[in-house]
Every structure is written in structure tokens, then in C-alpha cells.
A and B are shown apart, each in its own frame.
Chain A
Amino acid sequence: EPEVTQTPSHQVTQMGQEVILRCVPISNHLYFYWYRQILGQKVEFLVSFYNNEISEKSEIFDDQFSVERPDGSNFTLKIRSTKLEDSAMYFCASSGTGVQFGKTQYFGPGTRLLVL
């Protein structure tokens, strides 16, 4: 069964450093998403991406964040200058199209980011 994959599974970085989190969505999906889950808190929406552009973003997704689909398979989240409060589990998700099946977002296993 196709699945969303994410690398790395864990990343430790120093405050102020740039990090890039990588995702490979399900191959025939057209919508891509990033969510995050701070330890002990809810899963929160960050951004959605369709047709090579951001379709929606939350207030969390400020100028420090960016997303890119550099090729036909990868979808990346970049944090330019990490802060302590960026420490969280970051989930990538993708969804297809269609009335019934396009609504379901399939999530990857997550990247646990720790900012020191």
C-alpha cells in the first residue's frame, strides 16, 4: 500500500540554524500538507500546497518557514532560523482528488525536531 515517507526521523539542531525536513508524498496525490505537534499538544495545521504554490497557511507559518516541491517526488519544509519553540513532531500529509477519496489526508511517520 502506498504511503507517505519522511526523512529524517529525528533531527537535533542548534537555535538559529536552518533545517530542511523532507517528505515523499503518495505518488498520484496532488495536495500536500505540513502539520506539527508540540509535545503534549494538539496536531496543528501549518500549510497546504497545490499546483506548485501555497494554497493555505496558518498564523504559525511565518516568514521563517517555507515549502518547496523541488522535483516530482519530494516536498520539503524549511525553517530558516530555528527557535526553541519550533521543537515538535512535524508531519507531512498528502491527499488525492475526487469527491470521496480526495478528502482523506494520509500522514507520514513524522520528523521529531529538537532545537537546543
Chain B
Amino acid sequence: AQSVAQPEDQVNVAEGNPLTVKCTYSVSGNPYLFWYVQYPNRGLQFLLKYITGDNLVKGSYGFEAEFNKSQTSFHLKKPSALVSDSALYFCAVRGANMEYGNKLVFGAGTILRVKS
């Protein structure tokens, strides 16, 4: 079975400081990994993904994430946080094997609060 863990319910960071939102996953075989962001009363917006290739992937709004196969992690990072980054962040996984189908399995979400 596939699963995702986001160990922090909330991350607080000062504006201008680097931020990290953690994600670990469990899947048999290779994973497809995704980060989505949800602003209040809005849908899920795609940020970035890892399918194959470089372990460091860059996405929207200056975010990046590093795939670490040995640690089964896909942490979201940004070098300099903005107040406007404050939102709910979801990590999601999909197994690459056909047996998993196309469904995404989501983590519980991490609230990011950036204070000025």
C-alpha cells in the first residue's frame, strides 16, 4: 500500500528565512511524488513533481524539492520565504507500478505560516 507522512502539522518561519516542509513516503517500487498547495477556500494547486531524472526538482513560486530514495523523502524547500507563501501544503505519492493505478495518496497536510 502507498502512504505519505507529513510529520509536522504546522511550520512557522520568518519572512526571508529558508523554509522546509517535510514529507516521507512508502510505496513498493519507484514513486511519483507531488506537492500541492491549498489557499483558504481554494482548490489544490500543483507546485512541482518528481517523476524521474534529477533528484532536485524546481517548481512554481520559487519552490523546490529534493527526492531522496534512501530516506524515502521528498521535502519541499524555498530559500527565502514570503508572507504570501502561508498556506496548507500537501505531499502526494503515486506508485509507478501499474498495479497502483493513477490515484494519488495524500499526506495530512502541513500549515505553513510565514511571519513578517
Contact = CB atoms under 8 A, between A and B. Distances in A.
A107 B36 contact: yes
A45 B34 CA distance: 15
Interface residues of B, number: 22
A33 B90 contact: no
Interface string A26-66: 00000101010000011111001000000110100000000
A104 interface: yes
Interface residues of A, number: 27
B72 interface: no
A110 B43 CA distance: 6
Name, among A56, A107, A110, the residue most crowded by chain B CB atoms within 10 Å (CB to CB): A107
6 contacts: A42-B107, A45-B104, A104-B34, A105-B102, A105-B104, A109-B42
Given A42-B107, A103-B49, A103-B51, A33 B44 contact: no
Interface string B40-81: 001111100101000000000000000000000000000000
A96 to B, nearest CB: 12
Residues of B contacting A: mostly: strand
A106 B104 CA distance: 12
Q: In terms of DSSP, what is the predominant structure of the interface of chain A?
A: strand
B49 A42 contact: no
A100 B96 CA distance: 12
Nearest to A95: B102
Contacts of A103: 32, 49, 51, 94
Contact of B46 (A6, A100, A106, A110): A106
A91 interface: yes
Contacts of A108: 43
Interface in B67-110: 90, 92, 94, 101-109
